[in-house]
Amino acid sequence: MEKLNLDIEQKSVCFHCGELCTANEKVLFNDKLFCCNGCQRVYALLHQYNLDEYYCLNEMPGSQKKANSSEKFLFLDEQSVAASLISFKNNELTKVTFYLPQIHCSSCLWLLENLKKINKGVIFSQVNFTKKEVSIAFNHNEITLRQLADLLSIIGYEPYISMNSGNKTNVKTDKSNILKLGLVGFCFLNIMLISFPEYLGLKLTDDAVLTIFFRYMNLFLALPVFFYGSSEFFITAYKGLKQKYLNIDAPIALAVLITFVRSIYEVVSNTGSGYFDSMSGIVFFMLVGRILQSKTSKSIQFNRDYQSYFPIAVSVVNSGNKIATKIQELKKDDVLFIHHHELIPVDGILSKGNATIDYSFVTGESVATPVKIGELVYAGGKVLATNIEIIASMPFSQSGFIKLWENIAFKETKRNKAVVIDNISKYFSIIVLLIASVAFVYWQIFDARLSWKVVSSILIIACPCVLLLSASYTNAFVLDLFSKHGMFVKNAEVLNKFTKINHIVFDKTGTITEPNHFDIVYEGTKFNEIQNALVLSVMDQSIHPLSVAIAKQYKNYKSIMVSNIKTIEGKGIEAWVNDTYIKIGSASFFGLEKSENINFSEVYIGIDNVVFGKYCIKNKLKANFENLIHSLVNYKISLLSGDNDNSRNQMSEIFPKESILLFNQSPQQKLDYIKKLQNKDQQVLMIGDGLNDAGALQQSDIGISVVENVFSFSPACDTLLNSNKLKLLNQFILASKASRKLILVTFAYSILYNLLGIVFSVTANLEPMIAAIIMSASSLSIIHISFVGVKLIERKYFNDKNHVLI
């Protein structure tokens, strides 16, 4: 018998956001545990205004907030910038709509609609949950637009304002699909209802008035279906014909047309009841299929260009005054004031401030670069710790950063191999039309009355729509399954490509390593409490990322004010605290030899001229990454990193022997490497996280962008993958292969069905109406097979015992 391993660890989670509370950072307030000060502050604010209902409606409804500068929304004070966001304004009232990506539950809804309780200036607020927008009407005399944005930030719902929203290109939501479906559904069902008497045996000879009345009623109801509901099939078929190409919509359009014309003829000439039920049925089911497919592809926006990445405006300093200026209007020689944690929008020269710039998005280096006054800084870098001023050396559009986007890789369309299914559909349509014409001729000779019936039946029952439905429904279900488990795929073609992949390329920084966590080990003489406090207080004052990481890890010390610190660029820090001389820095700073063959960074500590020891800091790999690599046995693997060589040993231990590990790769080199692989006929899957991979991601056959949250910026890529779901990569690939098999199964089923259907129709054994019923039934059965098949796939590849059942 298995021994039950009851490993129940009492994990403490934050009352506000649900993240784990580390011993170092947790805060206790009002008998509740919080993971950080940020969460506790939000709680305190809500409690103060009697908004505790927020926590009653849902458990842990908040989100962990990163602190940001209080001047983040300064640009909203500027009239011209604000005007692009405001939808209405008069003397007392202003109405604005903000996009808040953090909206995810009913607590968010409740809190945002009770905003007026926190600030009297807010008159009315309404949430559109599906669009994740809030529409706020406020009195601009009591609260300004900027203060409103700040307020939203404080409660954890920071508005996401990008250059796109500033341009107010309102994407009109396409409702025509739903309108068509409603109309066609209405007509279809009513036609079926009115056809009942005829189904049950009503004949013209029994009661002429009623029969004729019912027939004309059907005709009347079929008109909107034909002219409005099926219009898109005719339009696409026509467009295809213009290009001399018979696309999938052509047979459907033809079937609908023939059925409609024939039915009108029969009703008007009193020779029959027509096939309006079949016709409207076809249109209805095809529309359902289309809507289902389009729903899954709309859920994630993919091709965000750099406009969503940059802030909407930057402060330009003009004779001492800071004026918010739209980013597109920046000119050469403008003096820009950039706050800490903001992005540098254009290349420029540093004119004021002790700058340390984080270029990880552009180069992939995880260690920040210190920059002296007079040196160049580049667009795309993030400013750390202090505010700076730069003199722009070129206008926005010409910055090197933007040029990366205009790179050829983005202009070329991806290598597109024709999908097998498309080919089959093309031939299918032609074959069916051929069979229909041959049958028509045949029956005209032998029994002319039957010829129209035969043609209609053939076209109805042998619809390639069944073939397509199998693929489109299965794909729709699989895309949905993937997004449930954290991978958001752009469209079904990408799913197909997964099955052909034979080479997987990983980016290092931020993709397989945790971007914010390091493994820190101290080697040397232990500090006593006072020494510990001194050293850590000094580190806390430094802005170097290694010091920041160490200070964050060893939080339990009594902080001492350090006033005398000197930073020596590229070497380390010196400080005098309480009459003790503290020296922190690299090996060379201490005159020591740098250790060879290591894969970590060393930070040496010296107190009063005695070297105590060193901190060894290693980039931490994502949890379960090793398991992932071991599971990817059938693929060649490469690692491309923009970082330096230090981690080669660590990587060689984890990656299989034949994998290729390349370091110091520039964005262009990464792109070239992918091209090289493709020239050797490899199908490449690339996984990366930042702008420095953008060209390579675009070039690969499949590009996966790993993100912390799906609303963060992503370059044009085929797939978004939630960063903590990277470990499921192999399962995703296996699942796509399985889904391809499923499509083939449904395909075989539909071909069998088509063959039987054609055989029966050609021999005039099939009434068009029965044909339509069978066709509808087969469509439904295919949907069911797809659905059950995908559920089975989920159970097989994603059934992980720790997974919470949703």
Partner 1 sequence: MIVIIVLLSLSLLVAIIFLLAYLWSVKSGQFDDDFSPANRILFDDNDIKDKYKK
Binds partner 1 by CB under 8 A, chosen from 22, 24, 70, 128: 128
Nearer of residues 184 and 629 to partner 1, judged by Cβ: 184
Q: Which stretch binds partner 1 (CB under 8 A): 50-58, 369-377, 527-535, 740-748?
A: 50-58
Site membership for partner 1, residue 190 (CB under 8 A) = yes
Nearer of residues 222 and 639 to partner 1, judged by Cβ: 222
Site membership for partner 1, residue 129 (CB under 8 A) = yes
Binds partner 1 by CB under 8 A, chosen from 8, 171, 200, 209: 209
Q: How far is the CB of 149 from partner 1 (least distance, A)?
A: 22
Strand, coil or helix: 227 = helix
Binds partner 1 by CB under 8 A, chosen from 45, 123, 183, 343: 183
DSSP 8-state assignment for residue 805: P
Question: Which of 202, 133, 198, 126 lies closest to 165 in space, CA to CA?
Answer: 133
Strand, coil or helix: 454 = helix
Q: Do 541 and 529 contact (CB within 8 A), yes or no?
A: no
Site membership for partner 1, residue 179 (CB under 8 A) = yes
Tokens of 751: 């071909």
What is the C-alpha to C-alpha distance for residues 135 and 550, in angstroms, rounded to an integer? 43
For strand 86-89 and strand 93-99, is the pairing parallel, antiparallel, or unpaired? antiparallel
Q: How far is the CB of 133 from partner 1 (least distance, A)?
A: 9
Q: Which stretch binds partner 1 (CB under 8 A): 202-210, 314-322, 462-470, 642-650?
A: 202-210
Q: How far is the CB of 178 from partner 1 (least distance, A)?
A: 6
Binds partner 1 by CB under 8 A, chosen from 22, 30, 69, 106: 106
Tokens of 636: 């060649």
Q: Which residues contact 475 (CB under 8 A, 6 or more apart)?
A: 293, 492, 495, 739, 743
Binds partner 1 by CB under 8 A, chosen from 5, 48, 50, 269: 50
Site membership for partner 1, residue 351 (CB under 8 A) = no
Binds partner 1 by CB under 8 A, chosen from 71, 77, 113, 626: 113
Site membership for partner 1, residue 298 (CB under 8 A) = no
Q: Do 401 and 695 contact (CB within 8 A), yes or no?
A: no
Site membership for partner 1, residue 182 (CB under 8 A) = yes
Query: Considering Cα of 584, then 586, then 587, then 589, what sign does the dihedral take?
Result: negative
Site membership for partner 1, residue 53 (CB under 8 A) = yes
Could you tell me which residues are beta bridge partners of residue 688?
705
Site membership for partner 1, residue 173 (CB under 8 A) = yes
Q: Which stretch binds partner 1 (CB under 8 A): 160-168, 186-194, 275-283, 725-733?
A: 186-194
Q: How far is the CB of 130 from partner 1 (least distance, A)?
A: 5
One-letter identity of residue 598: I
DSSP secondary structure, 686-744, as one string: EEE-SGGGHHHHHHSSEEEEEESSTTS---S-SEEEEGGGGGGHHHHHHHHHHHHHHHH
Binds partner 1 by CB under 8 A, chosen from 194, 314, 402, 793: 194
Site membership for partner 1, residue 59 (CB under 8 A) = no
Site membership for partner 1, residue 93 (CB under 8 A) = no
What is the C-alpha to C-alpha distance for residues 758 and 177, in angstroms, rounded to an integer? 31
H runs (alpha helix) in 133-175: 145-154, 163-166
Q: Do 646 and 596 contact (CB within 8 A), yes or no?
A: no
Binds partner 1 by CB under 8 A, chosen from 29, 160, 186, 440: 186
What is the C-alpha to C-alpha distance for residues 26 and 17, in angstroms, rounded to an integer? 12
What is the C-alpha to C-alpha distance for residues 743 and 757, in angstroms, rounded to an integer? 20
Question: Which of 797, 527, 510, 784 lies closest to 641 in space, CA to CA?
Answer: 510
Nearer of residues 34 and 711 to partner 1, judged by Cβ: 711
Binds partner 1 by CB under 8 A, chosen from 27, 77, 86, 110: 110
Site membership for partner 1, residue 178 (CB under 8 A) = yes
Q: How far is the CB of 114 from partner 1 (least distance, A)?
A: 8
Nearer of residues 92 and 207 to partner 1, judged by Cβ: 207
Site membership for partner 1, residue 210 (CB under 8 A) = yes
Site membership for partner 1, residue 174 (CB under 8 A) = no
Nearer of residues 130 and 205 to partner 1, judged by Cβ: 130
Instruction: Order across the sheet with 513-524: list the strands.
Output: 513-524, 610-621, 601-607, 580-585, 572-577, 564-568
Q: How far is the CB of 161 from partner 1 (least distance, A)?
A: 21
Nearer of residues 46 and 535 to partner 1, judged by Cβ: 46
Q: How far is the CB of 47 from partner 1 (least distance, A)?
A: 14
Site membership for partner 1, residue 127 (CB under 8 A) = yes
Q: Which stretch binds partner 1 (CB under 8 A): 182-190, 330-338, 620-628, 688-696?
A: 182-190
What is the C-alpha to C-alpha distance for residues 369 and 359, in angstroms, rounded to an integer? 7
Site membership for partner 1, residue 109 (CB under 8 A) = yes
Rg, the chain, Cα only: 33
Can you state the percent helix, strand and coil of the chain, rounding each to 5? 45, 20, 35
Nearer of residues 187 and 775 to partner 1, judged by Cβ: 187
Nearer of residues 117 and 500 to partner 1, judged by Cβ: 117
Nearer of residues 99 and 359 to partner 1, judged by Cβ: 99
Residue written as token pair 């900027």: 146
Burial string for 741-772 (b: 16+ CB within 10 Å, else e) reads: ebbeebbebbeebbeebbebbbebebbbbbbb
Site membership for partner 1, residue 171 (CB under 8 A) = no
Q: Do 357 and 368 contact (CB within 8 A), yes or no?
A: yes
Binds partner 1 by CB under 8 A, chosen from 124, 196, 199, 213: 213
Q: How far is the CB of 186 from partner 1 (least distance, A)?
A: 5
Nearer of residues 206 and 412 to partner 1, judged by Cβ: 206
Residues that bind partner 1 (CB under 8 A): 50, 53, 57, 106, 109-110, 113-114, 127-131, 173, 175, 178-179, 182-183, 186, 190, 194, 207, 209-210, 213, 217
